[in-house]
Structure 1
């Protein structure tokens, strides 16, 4: 089980993680939460679900490339210049959907942090703990793993699979190497979690 998810009887999945892996995952999830930003905790919209439903979000795409990858425009092709009509549609769509999408992504990352905080590692450096996730927790982890890979991919400027393949061949002294290793490791976790949920 070390390093990859396996299905649990009755649903969900489990993975064995050591102290370093837990620390890296937790740190990445916390950084993702900081990137996404805080939720709406003040004002009438925070207490009133109906007001939250009609609260308007931003209408312009984020300037940060990682956030732009997490919150892409709904109209037009990625990376292509939008015409005026596509820009107007994308702006309107973003205004009414981005707050909910941010809430979901924030919830997924928080779910990851909470499940990692619930693990107890006892013993030496090579001690592992088995993280057991319910089906709902698996959904949160899938969302968070995907968001982490999108974010790191944006920082690495990964735009397609061919460029992703070049990452495997980076020399050890390349300063991007640790980020690449995290990107590939998260991809493996994501892939085995999907396989576990699909029945192995």
Structure 2
């Protein structure tokens, strides 16, 4: 008698079955929505990481033309030793690269005696920084401080020391100028993207006032 009462499901109507079914469907829908949302969020973050990584790993600058140095004399430790007064090089935008703001770019200079870094001070309101830029090939609609597709800019880095004529107000502050056969490294660090590195060896002989192409 008792067993028949326990197993008797005559009171379980269709309405109750529908309520239970709806409850299951709602729970499954909510769970699916949460899982899909988490999946979409993870996919979006993965895409952002990949795009950021590509932007940081790829460079938007490339050398364009020769690296030219201007001969002079070193002030320390011997004023008669031939040295280099300035380095001039040219840059352009890589294929598919984003525009580079030279106003926010930093240049680092390294040789056997020195390791110096300087931003473009003139655009920060400070007069006569150690390096300047000039557009050689510019687009008609582009900003003068942006290296964009098809453009070419000249960068001139002064290595003058305090005591030289026409020394910039904010020189790099080198201990010594690079001399014959000395290796130097210039790093152009844009606000975004990989660093452009130029490594060159100074000429085997230097005469004041003469220009040399270095490799």
| Shared fold per TM-score greater than 0.5 | no
More strand by share: 2
Q: TM-score, normalised by structure 1?
A: 0.28
Q: TM-score, normalised by structure 2?
A: 0.26
Greater relative CO (CA pairs within 8 A, separation 6+): 1
